[in-house]
Amino acid sequence: MSRNGAPPRVPLPKALQTLRFLVRPGAFMEHWRAELGETFHASVHGPGELVFISDPASLKKLFAADRVNTIAPGRNIILGPLLGPGSLLLQEGSEHLRRRKLMLPPFHGERMRAYEKVISAAAERSVASWPVGTPFRLHPSMQAITLEVILRAVFGITDERRRDELSGALVEILGATASPRAVGFIVPGLRRTPMYRRLDGLSTRIDELLAAEITERRADPDLGERDDILSMLVGARFDDGSRMEDAELRDQLMTLLLAGHETTATGLAWTFDLLFRNPDAFARLTDEVRAGEFEYLDAVIEESLRVRPVVPFTGRELREPAGLGGYELDAGTIVMAAISLTHTRPDLYPEPYAFRPERFVEGEVETYSWIPFGGGTRRCIGAAFAQFEMRVALETILRSCELRPGSDRPERAVRRNVTLSPAGGTLAVLEGRI
C-alpha cells in the first residue's frame, strides 16, 4: 500500500552522508533503516538521490521492470575504464539484452561440472602453500584460487608463461583499483604520478596479452572441442549471424574477471569467518563433507551469502513512476535494492544476524527474500558458476586439511570496490594436512 508523501530523508549534510555511505555502506544502511524505517532516502555525491528498499514485493516489482529502467548511474565508476564500453555490466536496453542472450548459455548451471577439476586443483595448490601452525590470511589465498579459476575456466589460457604474466599484472591493477586513491586512475588530470603511469602500462600489457589469446583462439582448429567460456563466446553468433568483435571480447573478459574474481573469493573468505565463529556448524559441515554429503554444504553457502552478502546493494534508475517500498516514486529516482537489509529482515529470517544454515536445509526461501546475485534481466550471469566454485573449493579444503580460527574476533566488513570484505583477511591456522 502506498503512503502519502516521500520517503523520509537521512538528516545529515550531503557530504557527511556521502562519506559514511562510501566508507561503510552496510552500517550506513542498517543505521538509517533503524532510525527512519525500511524505505528511506539518502543524498550521495556521485550517484545522487537514492531511495533504499528491501521488501520482497517491491524488489520483485523493481526487477520485473528491468527492461524499462536503467542501471544506477555511477555503477562501477572506478572499474568502468578497465571494463571498456562493450561490457555487459555497463550496457543498457536492447544492446544489453542482445549481449546477455549470447553470453548466457556458457554459464548454464549444468555446464559448470566441466570446471570441477580446475577448481579443486587450484584449491589443492593453495592448501599446499599454507604454513602449518602460524596464522595466515585466507582471503588472499581465496583470491589466488578464484583468479586461477577465471584464467583457466573463463579465459581458457593454457600457456603458463602468459597466464603467469597476466595474473601478476591483474593482481597489481586490481589491488590498486581497490584503494580509494584509485580515483586518480579514472581522472585523466591525476594520471601523471609514477603510480598511475605504471597502472596505465599494466593495463596496456593486459590488453596485449588478451588480444594475443583472442587471435590464437579464433585460429584454433579445435575451438569446438574446448569448454572454456572464451572459446564459446568466440564461436557464438548474435541473432543477425554476426560474431563478437575482438574489442568486445576483451571487454567481456575483463568484465567476467572483475565481476567474478573478487566477489567469489570474498564469499569464500566470509564463509570461513562464519564457520570459525560457529564451531558446531563447522564441525557438522566438516563431518558431512568428509562423508560425501553435500546438502549442508549448499545450505552453508546460501546462509553465508545471506548474512554476509558480498555485494550489499544494486541500483536501478526509474524510467517511469512506480509504487515501491510503500511510496509513489517519480521517474528519475534511483532505487537501491538493499540486499543486506533484505537479508536481515526479522519477518523473513527470525534472529536474522545468527548464522543458521539449517534455515536453508529445512525450507525453501522465496526468490525475492534471498538476492545476493540481484535480480531481473541483470541478475548475476555468474551465479551458478560462483555457487559451484564455492562448493568445490570448500569441499576440497575441508577434505584436505584441518583449519582453526587465527583470531577470536569476528571480522568487520570493509568496502573493496563494490564488495564488502573481511577487514583482517580472515585469519586462520593450518593444524595439519590430511
> Among 118-126, 157-165, 206-214, 371-379, which window interacts with ligand HEM (CB under 6 A)?
371-379
Which member of 260, 357, 422, 425 binds ligand HEM (CB under 6 A)? Answer: 260
Contact code string over 324-363 relative to ligand HEM, x by CB under 6 A: ----------------------------------------
- The helix or strand, by DSSP H or E, that contains position 31, with its residue range, turns out to be helix 25-36
39 binds ligand HEM (CB under 6 A): no
259 binds ligand HEM (CB under 6 A): yes
In angstroms, the CA 401 to CA 232 distance is 36
173 binds ligand HEM (CB under 6 A): no
Inter-helix orientation angle 383-400/138-149, to 10° = 120
Tell me the CB-side half-sphere exposure of residue 66, using CA atoms within 13 A: 18
| β-bridge mates for residue 322, sequence order | 329
In angstroms, the CA 265 to CA 114 distance is 20
Task: List, as one string, the DSSP characters of 335-376.
Answer: EEEEHHHHTT-TTTSSSTTS--THHHHHSPPPGGG--TT--G
Which member of 44, 166, 256, 324 binds ligand HEM (CB under 6 A)? Answer: 256
Which member of 338, 386, 413, 420 binds ligand HEM (CB under 6 A)? Answer: 386
| β-bridge mates for residue 404, sequence order | 429
375 binds ligand HEM (CB under 6 A): yes
267 binds ligand HEM (CB under 6 A): yes
Contact 30, 341 (CB under 8 A): yes
120 binds ligand HEM (CB under 6 A): no
Size of interface with ligand HEM, in residues (CB under 6 A): 26
| Shortest distance, position 382 Cβ to ligand HEM, whole Å | 2
119 binds ligand HEM (CB under 6 A): no
Say if residue 191 is exposed, middle or buried (CB neighbours under 10 Å; 0-12, 13-18, 19+).
middle
> Among 235-243, 257-265, 273-281, 424-432, which window interacts with ligand HEM (CB under 6 A)?
257-265
Residues in contact with ligand HEM by the rule CB under 6 A:
88-89, 100, 154, 255-256, 259-260, 263-264, 267, 310-311, 314, 372-376, 378-382, 385-386
